[in-house]
A = this chain, B = another copy of it.
Amino acid sequence: MRILITGAAGFLGSHLCDKLLADGHEVIGMDNFITGNAQNLAHLAGNEKFSFYRHDVSNYIFVSGKVDAVMHFASPASPNPQSAAGYFNLPIQTMKAGALGTHNCLGLARANNARFILASTSEIYGDPEVHPQAETYTGNVDPVGLRAVYDEAKRFAESLTMAYHRYHKVDTRIVRIFNTYGPRMDLEDGRALPNLLKQALLGQPLTVYGDGGQTRSFCYVDDLVDGIVKLLYSDEHMPVNIGNPVEMSILQFAESINKITANKGGITYVDARSSRDPQRRRPDITRAKEIIKWEPAVNLEEGLRRTIPYFKEKLGLA
């Protein structure tokens, strides 16, 4: 297949490029670099099956020649208010990537009679009141809340994708992506894993908010990309959760990180933040197991071992 990937220079986009090239496909990457990083694609320079366009997909998309699949992975995605690349600092761009960008990508897929896959997110569930979250859960998102710029953009993108499927017969797929980690992730993305792993590698005490009882589930990027590609190859049109259902408390997680990194810094407890970070989020992956025969294979210890060299390099410790 000849596959367009928007957001190709992002964490997930760049891994998708690698995986699809390895599967023998021709890949066209697109990114405007407002949050993507050209370094993530540097190793593909000279690959005959890879081409790249620097472009804002919220404006317009044209790709010469036939495209067989369009994968829309372009969007700011970091919830870190301190990060210039986070969606709190790029609110309008985030909403445009979700609405105008998705609209443009669906138009291209329709014109090419191509498959389309939307990178959606567990954030469409908001601060969930049901655990774990199955695809039927309608979520708890405040449309006028601060996080809505990301959450509602993705909800809108899902609705538009289904509208193109139902009314224009576009061959669409929707993947709801849960917390993911691995090489090329943004160390400043504000989520628990990079924050704690950074501290551990620097020999610092790990900061745990509140009592550390809030839980997270983390999926290693190779597992996630494997699931996305299986969904692309499938015929499933309704949303599919892809994420790791192993749930652990932030405290357990901090202790595991200290053990794996042999960090002697211990743990520091500080007051729970006022941020509206969800207390819990965990995917129900029943549909992924049944429909695309997918489940994660990399456990946390192995995933962290594969991720640590990248963190060390970024931190100047390599």
Contacts and interface: CB of A to CB of B under 8 A. Distances in A.
Contact of A126 (B103, B126, B138, B151): B138
B167 A92 contact: yes
A39 interface: no
Interface stretch (A6-14, A70-78, A157-165, A263-271): A157-165
A256 B142 CA distance: 37
A107 to B, nearest CB: 10
A29 interface: no
Interface stretch (A49-57, A93-101, A222-230, A308-316): A93-101
Contact of A155 (B152, B162, B238): B152
Interface in A189-248: 238-239
A149 interface: yes
Interface in A130-148: 136, 138-144, 146, 148
Given A103-B96, A163-B91, A155 B143 contact: yes
Contact of A144 (B96, B99, B158, B168): B158
Nearest to A239: B144
Contact of A156 (B138, B146, B156, B239): B156
Contact of A103 (B100, B136, B168): B100
Nearest to A142: B138
Contacts of A103: 96, 99-100
Interface of A: 91-92, 95-96, 98-100, 103, 124, 126, 136, 138-144, 146, 148-149, 151-153, 155-156, 158-160, 162-164, 166-168, 174, 238-239
A136 B142 CA distance: 8
Contact of A95 (B126, B140, B163): B163
A145 to B, nearest CB: 8
Given A142-B138, A144-B238, A149-B163, A156 B100 contact: no
A297 to B, nearest CB: 28
A159 B148 contact: yes
A5 to B, nearest CB: 23
B126 A148 contact: no
A277 B143 CA distance: 21
